[in-house]
Amino acid sequence: MRPYILISNDDGYQAAGLQYLIKTLRNVADLLVLAPDGPRSGYSCAITTKNPFTFHRVSHEEGLEVYACSGSPVDCVKLAFNILLPRLGRRPDLVVSGINHGDNSSVNTFYSGTMGVVTEGTFQGVPSIGFSLCDMASNADFSACGPYILRIVEKVLREGMPPLTCLNVNFPRTDGTYGCSMDCNPATECGEVSAKSHEKDPYRGIKICRMAHSNWVEEVEECRRPGSGSPYYWLTGRVNELELEAEDTDRWALYHGYVAITPQTLDSTAYNLLNAWREDPELCR
Amino acid sequence: MRPYILISNDDGYQAAGLQYLIKTLRNVADLLVLAPDGPRSGYSCAITTKNPFTFHRVSHEEGLEVYACSGSPVDCVKLAFNILLPRLGRRPDLVVSGINHGDNSSVNTFYSGTMGVVTEGTFQGVPSIGFSLCDMASNADFSACGPYILRIVEKVLREGMPPLTCLNVNFPRTDGTYGCSMDCNPATECGEVSAKSHEKDPYRGIKICRMAHSNWVEEVEECRRPGSGSPYYWLTGRVNELELEAEDTDRWALYHGYVAITPQTLDSTAYNLLNAWREDPELCR
């Protein structure tokens, strides 16, 4: 029997990245797509608690059903596992999210609705992978991602994932310079590399990475309303690289043309501090 | 000079838990409150990307300024660090979130707007602590939390926090049975303890904990619209305890009447899998 894969994302079911993912994975698996009915970027692991949500079937054909949901990315996964999959009588072998339009490495992981899907899939007990392309351009080119997606998906289908562990996969952009999302300095600014021509495979291979330490700066911009002049605020900004030279990080891999696989754990206990604080008699008296 | 603390939450600036936090911390620090203008439960680390947001000052007196923001909990922190604090010419010594109305231990950490504030405060480079009371009742009793909050806050002000590390503090409810939020089995169902009388300190002390492994089940309920009968869906459900007997976890501590401090890291790299996958020549060829 063919593998069965649940696909969702945070850009909505019509997004080019999701359509490319469908095209790629149809060759190897039956697919259930349950994705937001529009953009939900920056939704993180948000859940809809104050309102109900709905979903409807968009299309169905042999081996591919597509549903759209009014909720958040995590709502989509909860809806799939609690309502839709039981009705269909199947349990997925894998949850795949993306391909996101934009970088989800390092600090961006935390704000990412793409990775919200992956977190939720993991809590549902199914191996889960998020794919993101570090290019927010409307004509972003996903075409080089396919072989890497298949290689990674087939490995996870074959080997599974340890409990509470998932994968965050980011592809560098291929528009002539490697790099992360449009908020980042392109790799050429590192003075090291420029992209290979895009004839065949523009990527240099895969790196298994840790999350780089970075943060966002210049994040909020004030605007003024015409007429009243009252202020309002937009999120904006750029990633501030805090360890750009560290070759074992996702950011380094991306800037240098590698597909970055960051294995992530959902046990976020800080064991070092746990052990230190346990020895404080004053605190735990 | 008195310490300076930024306070936010996900229940909104008018929430009783935040008001209690202000009352408690005013004794030891100057306070800047920048919190959502209404409930934002379940917002996780969501950021507002498609719309602008606004904020306004609600009140100000010596050592206490209160602002309300139309954005998410994380937006509040970004707004504080990027706009408001530079204008005020101060940088906080600490970010404190809560006291949340409801449990944020174990799996709930990931959906929590309270912990969204803490995550963002940590990325801004300031030691950050989230406080939650495992009681969603409208008359939830925060009165026993104060001495614990002061003890923890004073330790962090004195010692700081390691990079990328923060604290998630949960208080058991004190309504006669210990336990977590109303979605959980009270501790009495564990057949072990019932709460001490609430005369003085209803808690048994502090436990430094790791995150328990748990997930949510029975999470989505279908309803039918009057007239058309078309379906819509609400999030609901209960926490499914996966290691209730493990005495080093936050859930165990809460069920047994302890204040649970879970130190958390924002480096979510799964180092075990990273090392294993790095040795796969087929993948990284």
Q: Which stretch of A226-240, B167-181, B239-253 has the lowest confidence by average pLDDT?
A: B167-181
Confidence band, pLDDT 50/70/90 cuts, at residue B21: very high
Q: Which of B210, B220, B261 sits opposite A79 (nearest CB)?
A: B220
Shortest Cα distance from B74 to chain A (angstroms)?
Answer: 9
Give yes or no for a contact between B105 and B98, defined as CB atoms under 8 angstroms apart: no
Chain A CB within 8 Å of residue B162 CB: yes
Whether omega before A99 lies within 30 degrees of 0, making that bond cis, reads yes
Kindly indicate the confidence band of residue B197, based on its pLDDT and cuts at 50, 70 and 90.
very low
pTM (predicted TM-score): 0.93
**Beta partners for residue A7, in sequence order:** A33, A96
- Per-residue pLDDT, averaged over A261-270, amounts to 98
The token pair that represents B258 in the structure block: 């302890």
Mean of pLDDT over chain A: 92
**Three-state DSSP class for B250?**
helix
Dist. CA A38–CA B217, nearest whole Å: 27
Please name the residue of chain A whose CA is at the shortest distance from the CA of residue B231: A54
- In A, minimum Cα distance to B107 occurs at A123
| pLDDT band, very low/low/confident/very high, at A183 (cuts 50, 70, 90) | very low
Give residue B83's pLDDT: 98
Judged against a pLDDT cut of 70, whether residue B185 lies above it is answered with no
- In this prediction, residues B244-257 reach a mean pLDDT of 96
- Please state, for a pLDDT cut of 70, what percent of chain B lies above it: 91
User: In Å, how far is B266's CA from the nearest CA of chain A?
Assistant: 7
* Helix, strand, or coil (residue B114): helix
Section B129-155 average pLDDT = 95
Q: Given this model, what pLDDT does residue A24 score?
A: 98
Res A197: pLDDT: 43
pLDDT tens for residues B199-220? 689 999 999 999 999 999 999 9
Chain A hits for B79, Cβ within 8 Å? 220, 233
ipTM of the complex: 0.93
DSSP assignment of A40-74, as one string?
Answer: -TT-TT----SS-B-EEEEEEETTEEEEEESS-HH
Q: How does pLDDT run across A142-163, given as a tens digit for each residue?
A: 999 999 999 999 999 999 999 9
Q: Which of residues 41-60 of A touch B (CB under 8 A)?
A: 41-50, 52-55
Please give the biggest Cα pair distance in chain A.
66
Residue among A53, A123, A284 minimizing CB distance to B215? A123
pLDDT at B190: 35
Short-list A195, A194, A237, CA closest to A214: A237
For the segment B242-248, the average pLDDT, to the nearest whole number, is 95
End-to-end CA distance of chain A: 58
Residue B180's pLDDT is 61
A184: left (phi over 0), alpha (psi -120 to 50) or beta: beta
Q: How far apart are CA A134 and CA A169, in angstroms?
A: 10
Asked whether the predicted pLDDT for residue A179 surpasses 90, the reply is no
